[in-house]
Structure 1
Amino acid sequence: MNPDATTPIPADRARQALIAVRTEIGKAVVGQDAAVSALVIALLARGHVLLQGVPGVAKTLLVRTLAATLAIDSKRVQFTPDLMPGDITGSLVYDGSTSDFSFRPGPVFTNLLLADEINRTPPKTQSALLEAMQERQVSVDGKPMPLPSPFLVAATQNPVEYEGTYPLPEAQLDRFLMKIDIPLPTREHELQVLARHAAGFDPQDLAAAGVRAVARPDDLAAGSAAVQRVTVAPAVGAYIVDIARATRSSPSLALGVSPRGATALLSTARGWAWLNGRDFVTPDDVKTMAHPTLAHRLSLRPEAELEGVGVGSVLASAIGSVPVPR
């Protein structure tokens, strides 16, 4: 922690610490710089991230390593078909010594919650995360209990065509600031992975791999405050709104970007601008963050799905239809 709590951390120092996180994570995870940047931006913007990829592409390892580099508390929940809401939020437990009920906190009471394979559990349990994600609290017996700060849900999911998966409801998808697709590694990256394992790399022992904390919660707090000071010109704000409105009028979409999605794009564009050393947002920042921030909020019409239209191409067309401010 900051040795002098009364002295605020300079924004430049916080930026350098958070940029160092990418290099540090590279000691354990190969070729996922884009996903790392997205996770850091989500922490700065106080949002949540959905990671999608086939099993075995290091989604879980990525989140565990992020927690280790930031010196924050992390817990993991493996979502299964028999998982109950109380298994996530906690439950009241009878205490025989006091003849009363006491609350036993669930794993959601942490800084970084890894919700592993979130779409393998039924919708009722998926929805148990909604209040925690949106309100940053859990209601127990009618009483709100605040969650720690920072608080980030990093949920992983397998592609929906995989057996035993349940599609996330639109209301919950909209609670995720960003959705990041984790691709299969390139041949070069896969060779690096094999070489590391051949040399004795153990994914369960990050310390042995040399992973250490290079940023701390006070760096995140200073970074979040700095991101809030990043300016957005009226023309750039209008650009964001017009992109959102363009998706709503697309003939291929049954559901376009909501105002919540537009504010999410504002937040991620500010975070990206700040990480790149600027105190203002450019149209290129908006374009860079548009797909990870907006694509999962869109729903195709059935006829568009039958024609093989992809959400990404529809979003790209919507962005391309909006004049770029000069």
Structure 2
Amino acid sequence: MRVILAQPRGFCAGVVRAIEIVDRSLQKYGAPVYVRHEIVHNKAVVEELKTKGAVFVDELDQVPPHAVTIFSAHGVAREVEAGAAARSLHVLNATCPLVTKVHIQGRQYAAAGRVVVLIGHAGHAEVEGTMGQIDGKVVLVQNVQEAEHLDLPPDTPIAYVTQTTLSVDDTREVIAVLRRRFGNIVGPEVRDICYATQNRQRAVRELSRQADVLLIVGAKNSSNSNRLREIGTESGIPSYLLADGNELDPDWVRDAQVVGITAGASAPEAMVEHVIEALRALRRVTVSTMDGLEEKIEFRLPRELTESEGQEV
């Protein structure tokens, strides 16, 4: 069996930054530090941080006053920020800078008197945080059908922003419907969607042309991992989402000569290796990596956690 690894795959700069914020907070302040919601959508990452002393909570009232508290990479609503201040929590914000960029764009559009249309998935932590960061009217649109039935007068001044982990193609289609229906519309370019999302989707499309079966390493609640699986399916090959090698079904790869493997932006490389080992338990495997982009982007850590000012932004 040949295994071809996608390039790029796995951790993006925002995820690396978020995990490092938890690690460095533990080193500087000692355990426990409290993290609101999963720092990223990956069980293995969360469990490892728990062993180091991180405590994950659903709500801020589970955090003792004055405790070191970290907001997840997905971002939080302003009311969460206010709640943390009211409890005198020592907050470190691990929100991905690209998510923060969406928050800023949305606030600017709302301040200009526009109805903000957020293209995203209901219930996703990033969507809830973004909607709670924008003053004024924010309308969630999840797909083309909802864009077609958006109940606003056609002359309404609107602006759109997007969940960063959405499909570029799906977003483009929704934006096209909004532009057709509303004459007074503004929004960022499609290329403003998270670079990591675009790069991983592009790599999966290329990998789908080379593989018989596609395995996507990632969590079931990871939006970008689910979309990678969908892209593989749309490309016409069997595609499966699994957290690690324990979830590999031998029937998936029984007749495959070439297996493609990628990983969502919050999936550690160790889980990819775990899947490869599970394949090796079935038969002999050779592993190669496809040609692709080498991501070199880094995001600056909060000043209080580093003395280095030489990191890239």
TM-score (norm 1): 0.23
Bigger helix fraction: 1
